[in-house]
Chains A and B, each alone.
Chain A
Amino acid sequence: MKYVLQRIGAMLLTLFLVMTLSFMVIRLMPMSLFENPEVPKEIQEKLEDKFHLNDPLPLQYYYFMEGIVTDLDFGISVKLRPGLEVFDIIVTRLPPTMLINFLSLFISIPLGLIFGTIAALKRNTVVDHVISVFVILFISIPSFVFASLLQYLFTFVWPLFPTLYESTAVTVGQMMHSLVLPIVALSLGPIATLTRYLRGELIENISSEYLLLARTKGLTKTQSIVRHAFRNSMMPITNTLVSLITGIMGGSLVVENMFAVPGTGGLLTKSIFAGDHFLTVAILIFYSAISLVTILVVDLCYGLIDPRVRVGGGK
């Protein structure tokens, strides 16, 4: 329990830091909205009132934080969707992004585990070498290059999928049809990363002495590998999951935009281009929150898999 609280505390601290940084971005950037001479004076004064621009900076900071914590008030969009609450915009844009991110994650974990196990069990055979070649390719080549390649091949040369997200898609099936390519593009890298790590860990565990002991006491090869080697390999793997998740989320920022998926990724790019800082910052805070929660879940899973983490929180 103490472990859980500690993790949550660390998470909140990080979120707080991200928000502080966000505040700095909003307040230190030149904002045409407040300086635009075309906006009538009264409205400008109202805006200043709403955003507390006349108060000293620490007080502004306080209001900014208070707004977020109590009302989820991230400010209003200034340029992209003038006047709309940033929070509402994001909420409508969130589902496709979440779909892409989580599906990529859920596809890549089992596939990565399967390929990693195969490579480790068939070590130094043709299978292993083929897998290794693909691993190095997929780890090295960035997801957006894959996205370009897939887009060109499967929407132009062989038009199997729509080039851009079909905005008319209503059912999950239709949405999925549009989302296949971005999901594949995002999954390749993580699959390769997982494969590589699991292969290394499994090989180390399989050649270890405790596995020999397990065999000598009468377990079959399968039993010993599944019960002992695999389970021990999972612990370091859980650590790489964290970087996997942040990697997928980052990649999806770009890939979503390439396929015109109406998610937060495309919105972020547009808001950065437009200089709509309230929106940018709010999306980034959302991203931080989501990735931090995911990492927290992974951390807790870590405790589930490895009892030592649960017990030995302190020194």
Chain B
Amino acid sequence: MKWIDRNNLPEELKNLPDSSFESLHQEDIKDEKFQTKPVGFFRDAMIRLSKSKVSMISVSCIVLIIILALLVPNITGYSFTEQNLGNKNLPPKIQGLEKLGIADGTRVLENRKKDALSDPDRYPEGSVLEILREFDSKGVAMVDVKVDYYKYVGAEDNRYHWFGTDYLGRDLLTRLFQGTRISLMIAFFSVLTNCFIGVIYGAISGYYGGKVDMILTHVAEVLDGMPYIVVTILFMILFGSGMVSIVLALTITGWIGTSRLIRSQFYRFKGREYVLAARTLGVPDLTLIFRHILPNCVGPLITRVMIAIPGAIFSESFLAYLGLGIKAPNPSIGVLLADGQKVLLQYPYQTLFPAVLISLLMIAFNLFSNGLRDALDPTKRGEE
């Protein structure tokens, strides 16, 4: 009865009880009512994402690392700058695990004079655990000896360094997660600035098109032609080391990819009818760009951001290896790796933990961004 104007119904017809109606349909209606709420694009994507086990595992891995990075430096009881030259290069020692023989703070000292073993100044009471090999070198009795290194250097009994200490006696567990914090921050900020510049540049270039687009694209192309590493290193030398300069150096050429993506999305959407309609209604350019066209780019943009984060973490460690990393007392994963590399063969644990962490972080981010891309753009699923 659509053609009756509801507003002009006589008063007595407006509030009729249900009982005065009778269904024309004799049988039961087999249709089910929609129980669910309507699902929007992002909700749909999130549902798809949460169904992928790999994505869920990697995202929980990322979250776990972030939580650890926020928590651990505050609860270890050591500060990441606290030096203790008496306790340098201590091996890992963990409560509980030490009884199993893993991470028990022992170390094998090779080619020691046997006579010195009984000297309590050099080998304090109880520090010698086991003599592994006795041999004779030019008439002097030598031994390889396994010692409790913590007792050997005279550290207090209740001192535990889960990941050991570095060449200045700083607790590596604290430094590792403080470093993770800094690395993640660098990655986050550099990606954020990249996005910001890229979105604006790409939006202007894509929306206005024509000459503006031509000039902007050429500028970006020339910048992009410069080898990324060279530009980054040159800028790092110019700015000096430090967090801000790393973020800036990573931004110099990093935004170009984002701007390209946004530009192509704008080219796709700016000719659509709904944009034309909005323009006809007198919507100004800025509103068109940000309110009407840009939301279409959010999906690919998120994917790109997730792919860019491991890239930024990688670049940061790369710069640290070249001595252009973060300033001295501050750690970052790259700085720790580079420091550990110098003593790799003597103290492999100093490289092991940062290496495992950066690998985990990179793998998790890569898997998660794959999953995210599949979720946001199901047509590309499985293409890798």
User: Do chains A and B interact in one complex?
Assistant: yes
B322 touches A272 (CB 8 A): yes
A21 touches B234 (CB 8 A): yes
Contact of A203 with B383 at beta-carbon distance under 8 Å, contacts A24-B238, A250-B229 already known: yes
B313-349, CB < 8 A from A: 314, 317-318, 321-324, 337, 340-341, 344-345, 348
B213-247, CB < 8 A from A: 221-222, 225-231, 233-235, 237-238
A253 touches B322 (CB 8 A): yes
Contact of A144 with B237 at beta-carbon distance under 8 Å, contacts A13-B222, A151-B344, A292-B225 already known: no
Contact of A269 with B384 at beta-carbon distance under 8 Å, contacts A142-B314, A156-B345 already known: no
A204 to B227, CA, bound (A): 31
A23-42, CB < 8 A from B: 24-25, 28-29
User: Is A258 part of the binding interface, using a Cβ–Cβ cutoff of 8 Å?
Assistant: yes
Contact of A140 with B233 at beta-carbon distance under 8 Å, contacts A156-B345, A288-B227, A292-B225 already known: no
A144 touches B337 (CB 8 A): yes
B318 touches A196 (CB 8 A): no
Give chain A residues whose Cβ lies under 8 Å from the Cβ of B62: none
B348 touches A142 (CB 8 A): no
Give chain A residues whose Cβ lies under 8 Å from the Cβ of B358: 141-142, 145
* Other-chain residue from A163, A196, A257, A284 in contact with B384 (beta carbon distance below 8 A): A196
A25 to B240, CA, bound (A): 11
User: Is A240 part of the binding interface, using a Cβ–Cβ cutoff of 8 Å?
Assistant: no
User: Is B190 part of the binding interface, using a Cβ–Cβ cutoff of 8 Å?
Assistant: no
B363 touches A142 (CB 8 A): no
A25 touches B317 (CB 8 A): no
A246 to B362, CA, bound (A): 20
A258 touches B228 (CB 8 A): no
**Smallest CB gap from B340: residue in A:** A148
A139 to B323, CA, bound (A): 24
B318 touches A142 (CB 8 A): yes
Give chain A residues whose Cβ lies under 8 Å from the Cβ of B322: 253-254, 268-269, 272
B193-228, CB < 8 A from A: 221-222, 225-228
User: Is B261 part of the binding interface, using a Cβ–Cβ cutoff of 8 Å?
Assistant: no
User: Is A249 part of the binding interface, using a Cβ–Cβ cutoff of 8 Å?
Assistant: yes
B337 touches A17 (CB 8 A): no
- For the complex with contacts A13-B225, A257-B321, A288-B227, 4 further pairs of A-B residues with Cβ separation under 8 Å are A148-B351, A199-B384, A200-B383, A269-B321
A-B contact pairs, 15 of them (CB 8 A): A13-B225, A17-B226, A22-B234, A142-B362, A144-B318, A145-B355, A151-B345, A152-B345, A204-B383, A246-B228, A254-B322, A277-B237, A280-B233, A284-B230, A288-B226
Residues of chain A having any CB pair with chain B under 8 Å: 10-11, 13-14, 17-18, 21-22, 24-25, 28-29, 132, 136-137, 139-142, 144-145, 148-149, 151-152, 155-156, 163, 196, 199-200, 203-204, 246, 249-250, 253-254, 257-258, 268-269, 272-273, 277, 280-281, 284, 287-288, 291-292
The 5 closest A-B pairs by CB, nearest first: A14-B225, A140-B362, A250-B229, A140-B363, A254-B321
